[in-house]
């Protein structure tokens, strides 16, 4: 009778649970039993592992074999347990030293020829192993860079099971041939989910062309929307662009992610973990350093937005846009159920998805940008444009964006049609992305210095109680906001959001605290009521 164990990791959402893979050999009829709440792809590992072991030159034990995945109460899915199962079986069969693999975490899928194929979710899996105290990890060679992002863990990247057996037995390591025929590496297919990438709204449409990088200078005119975009980036405030088609709403939103500052190390790890689990992490780029951008189509379901799917829930668009931009173009065309599902993540910064298979908590701290037309034909706000939509249709169309959702949007800006002078650049080009991004970084630095020692880093995260008791505006600056609150123009939540925007406006102009003109700018961007606040470029 032989016994051995190895370790692997089961992913529940974007969090990992270390799983002990135990193999037990007993006399009896040759059979292979896999227990421990495996899914269909994991049950099929019995045939993959047997073929990989035999084709790697090792002997398959002809006894009754039982492989248990502990803890048995945790659902396990995917093919990433293959490598740990194979090593546990070889350890029970005395081909490997059981003591050499007992405390090693192994992640990888096995091909029938013994090659180790990469799987999704390597970074969160290695993070879970490090938090559990494990110091040695074996992963596929293609994902070794991703696993090496976790400090304090020794990472071994292998190309085949033969190489791993030789390393563990201190034997000469065989050379594995590399397919160098000029075609894409088939081994990387397991890292990408079919249909993801540029075609799924995971990159700005204007950046998909070769040789051109989207720049704010490409946007003609629109000083007020450009300033709102800058304020949104500096403070992390949600934004609504409303206006007729062709005014530049989508162009502005697509350039927002480039204005945001680069991600910190911790933020990069969070984003990379989500993208790795979702299968959208580009091969060869183990760490995401720029703010992500996600723009789902308006036919997206609630599950695709907030997360869900069959079995264990998977990350949705709000999680793919974590620490970045979620752009909902043609927002009134989204289903009301899907839009209202965004209320909770907009406030809390995470999503809790409950399904029969389990409850998953997914990160979802994003900057939301909505773009909407004034009516179904889009010409309602234009003078003499010939809008034929009845008033009842216009009201119903605009009511698709519910009041509770709009109350969580800090900035609401009307995008006017571009005039001839701006379109033909007779008025001069606007500021470039680099100039605006520099101001945004300076404003973020001022906010971070002010909020040092608190759990918040941007103005949009500061609770209203702190804004009203500790982070006070200049005396008398809130008079206009208080009047709007009494008239019912602002809600209590709206007043807090006006204060947050005012702090961001003050940070952009280098002021120590908001004054009456900062409150006026915030109120104008919130309510759309003209208050004579300076909005031209550089006026703040």
Q: What is the pLDDT of residue 539?
A: 44
Nearest of 376, 383, 204, 196 to residue 294 by alpha carbon: 204
Query: Is 209 a residue whose pLDDT tops 70?
Result: no
Q: What is the pLDDT of residue 386?
A: 74
* Mean per-residue pLDDT of the chain: 87
Which of 3-17, 190-204, 379-393, 516-530 shows the highest mean pLDDT? 3-17
Q: What is the pLDDT of residue 181?
A: 52
Read off the DSSP letter of residue 5. Answer: E
Sign of CA dihedral 448, 454, 460, 463: negative
**Bridging pattern class, strands 358-363 and 350-355:** antiparallel
CA end-to-end span of the chain, whole Å?
77
C-alpha–C-alpha distance, residues 103 and 99, integer Å:
8
Rg (CA), the chain: 28
Q: What is the pLDDT of residue 200?
A: 47
Q: How many helices (H) and strands (E) does the chain have?
A: 23, 16
Nearest of 112, 176, 122, 170 to residue 148 by alpha carbon: 122
| Contact partners, residue 356, CB within 8 Å, separation at least 6 | none
Query: What DSSP string describes 204-229?
Result: -GGGSSTT----GGGS-S-HHHHHHH
Q: What angle do CA 405, 410, 412 make, to 5 degrees?
A: 85
Q: What is the pLDDT of residue 188?
A: 65
Query: Is 385 a residue whose pLDDT tops 80?
Result: no
- The average pLDDT across 402-422 equals 86
Q: What is the pLDDT of residue 424?
A: 73
pLDDT band of 535, cuts 50, 70, 90:
low
pLDDT band of 82, cuts 50, 70, 90:
very high
b/e map 233-268, b = 16+ CB within 10 Å:
bbbbbbbbbbbbeebbbbbbbbbbbbbbbebeeebb
Query: Is 136 a residue whose pLDDT tops 50?
Result: yes
343-362, pLDDT tens digit by residue? 999 988 999 888 776 788 89
| Contact partners, residue 493, CB within 8 Å, separation at least 6 | 407, 408, 464
Q: What is the pLDDT of residue 78?
A: 87
Q: What is the pLDDT of residue 467?
A: 85
pLDDT band of 437, cuts 50, 70, 90:
very high
Q: What is the pLDDT of residue 537?
A: 42
- The average pLDDT across 121-132 equals 95
């Amino acid at each position: 009778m032989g016994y051995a164990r190895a370790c692997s990791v089961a992913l529940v959402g974007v969090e990992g649970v270390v799983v002990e893979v135990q193999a037990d050999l007993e006399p009896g009829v040759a059979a292979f039993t896999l227990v421990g709440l495996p899914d269909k792809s994991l049950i099929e590992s019995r045939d993959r592992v047997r073929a990989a072991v035999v084709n790697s030159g090792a002997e398959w034990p002809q006894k009754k074999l039982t492989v248990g995945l502990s803890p048995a109460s945790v659902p396990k899915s995917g093919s990433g347990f293959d490598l740990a199962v194979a090593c546990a079986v070889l350890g029970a069969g005395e081909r490997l030293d059981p003591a050499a693999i007992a405390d090693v975490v192994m992640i990888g899928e096995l091909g029938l020829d013994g090659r180790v194929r990469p799987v999704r979710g390597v970074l969160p899996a290695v993070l879970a192993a490090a938090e559990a105290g494990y110091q040695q990890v074996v992963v596929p060679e293609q994902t070794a860079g991703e696993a090496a992002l976790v400090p304090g863990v020794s990472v071994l990247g292998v190309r085949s099971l033969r190489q791993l057996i030789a390393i563990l037995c201190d034997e000469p390591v065989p050379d594995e041939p590399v397919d160098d025929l000029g075609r894409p590496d088939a081994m990387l297919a397991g890292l990408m989910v079919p249909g993801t990438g540029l075609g799924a709204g995971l990159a700005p449409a204007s950046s998909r062309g070769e040789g051109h990088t989207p720049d704010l200078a490409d946007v003609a005119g629109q000083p007020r929307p450009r300033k709102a975009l800058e304020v949104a980036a500096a403070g992390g405030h949600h934004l609504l662009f409303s206006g007729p088609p062709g005014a530049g709403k989508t162009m502005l939103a697509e350039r927002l992610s480039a204005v945001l500052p680069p991600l910190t190390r911790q933020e990069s790890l969070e984003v990379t973990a989500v993208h790795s689990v979702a299968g959208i992490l580009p091969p060869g780029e183990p760490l995401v350093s720029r703010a992500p951008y996600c723009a789902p189509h308006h036919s997206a379901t609630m599950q695709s937005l907030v997360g869900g799917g069959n079995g264990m829930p998977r990350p949705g668009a709000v999680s793919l846009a974590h620490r970045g931009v979620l752009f909902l173009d043609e927002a009134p065309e989204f289903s009301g159920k899907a839009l209202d599902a965004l209320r909770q993540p907009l406030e809390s910064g995470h999503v809790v998805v409950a399904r029969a298979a389990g409850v998953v908590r997914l990160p979802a701290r994003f900057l939301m940008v909505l773009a909407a037309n004034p009516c179904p034909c889009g010409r309602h706000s234009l003078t003499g444009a010939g809008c034929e939509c009845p008033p009842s249709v216009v009201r119903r169309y605009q009511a698709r964006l519910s009041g509770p959702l709009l109350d969580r949007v800090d900035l609401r800006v009307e995008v006017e049609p571009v005039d001839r002078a701006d379109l033909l650049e007779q008025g001069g080009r606007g500021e470039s992305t680099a100039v605006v991004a520099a101001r945004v970084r300076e404003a973020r630095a001022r906010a971070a210095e002010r909020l040092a020692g608190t759990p918040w880093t941007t103005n949009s995260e500061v609770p209203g109680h702190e804004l009203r008791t500790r982070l006070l505006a200049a005396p008398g600056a809130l008079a206009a906001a208080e009047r709007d609150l009494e008239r019912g123009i602002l809600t209590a939540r709206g007043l807090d959001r006006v204060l947050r925007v005012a702090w961001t406006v003050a940070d952009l102009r280098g002021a120590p605290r908001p004054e009456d003109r900062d409150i006026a700018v915030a109120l104008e961007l919130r309510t759309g009521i003209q208050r004579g606040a300076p909005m031209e470029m550089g006026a703040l």
